[in-house]
Amino acid sequence: MERTIIKSENFNAYFGNNHVVKNVNIEIERNKVIAVMGPSGCGKTTYLRCINRLHELIEGARCDGKMLLNGQDVYSMHPIFTRLKIGMVFQRPNPFPNLSIYDNVIAGYVLNGIKMSKSDKNDIVEKSLTSAALWKEVKDSLHKKGTFLSGGQQQRLCIARAIAMEPEVLLLDEPTSALDPISTSSIEELLKELKNNFTLIIVTHNMQQAARVSDKTAFFYMGELVEYDDTKKMFTNPDDIRTQNYITGRFS
């Protein structure tokens, strides 16, 4: 299989007249953790939301250029197909409040109207919750509402829900920014496990987090992709002066 899974060529995104992602060229490799960092408003979340085509749902939002998934432009596919291949975890945990923990995990199947046998469902729920390091904590309360869980557990439930669909890529938009340090570290541990099966792209404000969890780091500034390299190199010897300034805290 080809090593590159996602490739952007001259990719631009706009909100109305506001040019928020400028001419991004990037190649993302399979089974790696990629951290996307940069100051607020630098376009990193917008770029992430362009990958699974959530950006276009906002009124006045548009984009151009190429976004290739396994060599195929996601903008020439049906968005539903794109989103089956590319899962997403949001900044704030957002389990479906009307569904139980069990149904939340298989929501991607159930809400799509896919019929499955009871044992298939059980298997998917157990496997996904185990991968999301939540199985032990919730296995006796699977039929309680997902919103009964703590924030960190809810976020792991959302991760389980996303990986239950077996996507190739998992996008994480500041997944720990609403969580306490203990939940954060358990989710960071989880990310290291997950990269065996998925490609993870994680947007983060937290530089330590980027350094801890990622193999490669992309630095966005003012809508441009300034630098993209191995995390070690980015944090020790970046090529661009702006990356260096950001990492050393000279501007934010």
21 binding other proteins? (CB under 8 A): no
- Between 2 and 59, CB nearer to other proteins: 59
The residues in 161-190 that bind other proteins, with binding defined as CB under 8 A, are: 161-162, 165
> Given candidates 19, 66, 121, 145, which one binds other proteins under the rule CB under 8 A?
145
- Between 156 and 216, CB nearer to other proteins: 156
- Cβ atoms of residues 34 and 215 within 8 Å: yes
The residues in 64-103 that bind other proteins, with binding defined as CB under 8 A, are: 80-84, 87-88, 90, 92, 94-98
Cα radius of gyration rounded to whole Å, the chain:
18
- Between 91 and 122, CB nearer to other proteins: 91
Report in angstroms how near the CB of residue 37 gets to other proteins at its nearest: 22
Report in angstroms how near the CB of residue 175 gets to other proteins at its nearest: 13
Rounded Cα distance between 85 and 74, Å, is 10
**Mask 37-56, x = binds other proteins (CB under 8 A)?**
---------------x-x--
**Which stretch in 120-128, 154-162, 194-202, 233-241 sits in contact with other proteins by CB under 8 A?**
154-162
> Given candidates 43, 108, 175, 223, which one binds other proteins under the rule CB under 8 A?
108
- Between 161 and 216, CB nearer to other proteins: 161
- Between 1 and 80, CB nearer to other proteins: 80
Binding site for other proteins (CB under 8 A): 52, 54, 57, 59, 80-84, 87-88, 90, 92, 94-98, 107-108, 111-113, 145, 147, 158, 161-162, 165
